[in-house]
Structure 1
């Protein structure tokens, strides 16, 4: 016989009944949610605009703690150089123009001296000029001398020799004026500041840098970086020293990419090299440096963990050797006992079989130990 217990709802005062919503759950720390949405049976998402919930719970209310929704983490801001700072060709003249201008300046200086009468007679005779009875260097002669001298200085002072694999980055009063990648003799404005940049394909073998494997064990890695300067303007003006910047990028990449010891069996060594190449190439591209390869060429344990890891490795190899020897002995004993039983050479009960297996195991292990020595 079952007994049914009924609960009678509490009486609601008439003064509060008409003004109180019957199908709403209201809380002072949350928004109002319709009851039919809490017990919804139809599948599908429900779009309800909710305010952020409070963190923690109020004492004495029995309310379960609710946590504020976590905002998605913002991506790491990428390094950026002035977009207007890109390599562009500079305006230069052929070297013959500078030589011609310098020769004209020198000839003008000699003519001014002859005009003023201060040119030595031996030089006049060597040049085949008539003797001049000039009155000396006056204001006119000084002006002509200054003009022709400036022409000679500009002509010969702007001569430059371009070499294969090198470039000139030109600047004037702190502003970028272009890059010269031409080879041979050329004339460049002597007022421009010249910076020579090596644009050849280069390789750099680093010193041992701190690294770690997938388990967090401290390592020292030597990497080989193959790179070159692609944008001379950004490499020279966008960063203080692009070679130091590249080194820091490699060190930062080693801190983010796990590097495994050779022969660890945890995956091909090319995986770490490919990941390092992608990271370093992305970080160095903003300063005009093109990275082709970053490959670890030597990996070793850090000095503080080298001895401990060496003992651990020896223990692992010893355990692996013992396991292989034991497996071989068990297989040999099983094969021997099975062949004796199948050929009918011996008839063994359980006790005799166990004794034979024990004796054979001891004999095979002893034989393996002597052969191993």
Structure 2
């Protein structure tokens, strides 16, 4: 993003030269009172010459213009709000001081909020690293850091933020698989939320730097397979879960059989040859790994009859 903007003049915020609005309000009140006093005392009498009448009219128009000039320069700054000041199209600075402020009326003021904004993106359909179609959405908390860049380096910074959020979400979502379907321990969208959220935040900060926007927090709020493959992926996950459960049962059963044989041998309860040992192992594995309850069979003879 930075390389693509090398040919553009990058704006930089600086402080604007404005005046305390309360002092200027007092000046306005004094000017209004003085104007009323001068006009009331300077009304020409009947039969006055033309020059006296023109002087009175000039004083009256001047007083009205002065009052209008002062009154039109006031503006209010609320907490976490800024005003970008321009003079005939040229950037003059940004005012961040809270309260009533005053500036020359021919200087334009554009207010920009410096408060935190919360954006919940729409669900977008993308392909993950393995090409599986997925649906993904995120929540982003952002704010304006440089008002000059937000006002002059992009056309509409709010629309710019929304578009870049979707673009960044697509980039990060396509960088990792939805789930880990191999034995490798890799970063996945479903199982590595902290890593993915950190990458998304860094990606958005890089994209929004040109607009003077900083992202404080970003995280996935929706993640699912696309409807056309959701059923197949669910069956695959169920099969993986069954295999994992079976594997755990078999490993546990082998350990239990080993303990049983070792206990019988240590206590001298029975002396088993290889054939009897194999039969016991087979019976114990069937009992421990079977889905149904084992039905006991009473053997009245021996294994050799």
Q: Which runs of 5+ in 1 are unaligned?
A: 1-74, 118-131
Q: Which residue number corresponds to residue 140 of structure 1? A: 55
Correspondence 1:192 to 2:107: yes
Correspondence 1:320 to 2:244: yes
Superposed CA offset, 1:72-100 (max 9, x none): xxx99333584462212222122222541
Contact 2:125 2:136 in 1 (8 A): yes
- Residue 341 of structure 1 deviates from its aligned partner by 4.3
Correspondence 1:86 to 2:12: yes
- Residue 106 of structure 1 deviates from its aligned partner by 6.2
Q: 1:281 aligned to 187, 205, 211, which one?
A: 205
Change (3 A) 1:221 1:106: farther
Q: 1:302 aligned to 226, 242, 267, which one?
A: 226
| Farther off after superposition, 147-156 or 91-100 | 91-100
Structure with greater helix share of residues: 2
Correspondence 1:223 to 2:149: no
- Residue 261 of structure 1 deviates from its aligned partner by 5.7
- Residue 167 of structure 1 deviates from its aligned partner by 0.5
- Residue 212 of structure 1 deviates from its aligned partner by 5.0
Contact 2:80 2:115 in 1 (8 A): yes
Partner Cα separation in structure 2 for residue 84 and residue 230 of structure 1:
14
Q: Which runs of 5+ in 2 are unaligned?
A: 295-305
Mapping for residues 59-78 of structure 1, pairs under 5 Å: 77-78=3-4
- Residue 249 of structure 1 deviates from its aligned partner by 2.3
Partner Cα separation in structure 2 for residue 144 and residue 305 of structure 1:
82
Partner Cα separation in structure 2 for residue 343 and residue 109 of structure 1:
119
- Residue 229 of structure 1 deviates from its aligned partner by 1.2
User: 4+ runs of 1 displaced by more than 6 Å?
Assistant: 262-265
Superposed CA offset, 1:243-287 (max 9, x none): 222232222222222356699974442222222222221221122
- Residue 351 of structure 1 deviates from its aligned partner by 3.8
- Residue 316 of structure 1 deviates from its aligned partner by 1.2
Partner Cα separation in structure 1 for residue 13 and residue 274 of structure 2:
89
Partner Cα separation in structure 1 for residue 186 and residue 217 of structure 2:
22
Contact 2:18 2:103 in 1 (8 A): yes
How many residues matched?
A: 282
Q: Which residue number corresponds to residue 23 of structure 1? A: none
Correspondence 1:333 to 2:257: yes
SS in 1 for 2:148: helix
Partner Cα separation in structure 2 for residue 76 and residue 184 of structure 1:
36
Q: 1:166 aligned to 74, 81, 96, which one?
A: 81
Superposed CA offset, 1:312-367 (max 9, x none): 2122111111111122223323332343345443444444333332222222234x
- Residue 370 of structure 1 deviates from its aligned partner by 5.4
Change (3 A) 1:337 1:245: same
Change (3 A) 1:138 1:195: same
Q: 1:245 aligned to 154, 160, 166, which one?
A: 160
Contact 2:15 2:93 in 1 (8 A): yes
Q: 2:196 aligned to 231, 249, 272, which one?
A: 272
TM (norm. structure 1) is 0.64
Partner Cα separation in structure 2 for residue 260 and residue 369 of structure 1:
38
| Farther off after superposition, 273-282 or 202-211 | 202-211
Superposed CA offset, 1:94-120 (max 9, x none): 222254136414642674366446xxx
Partner Cα separation in structure 2 for residue 266 and residue 345 of structure 1:
50
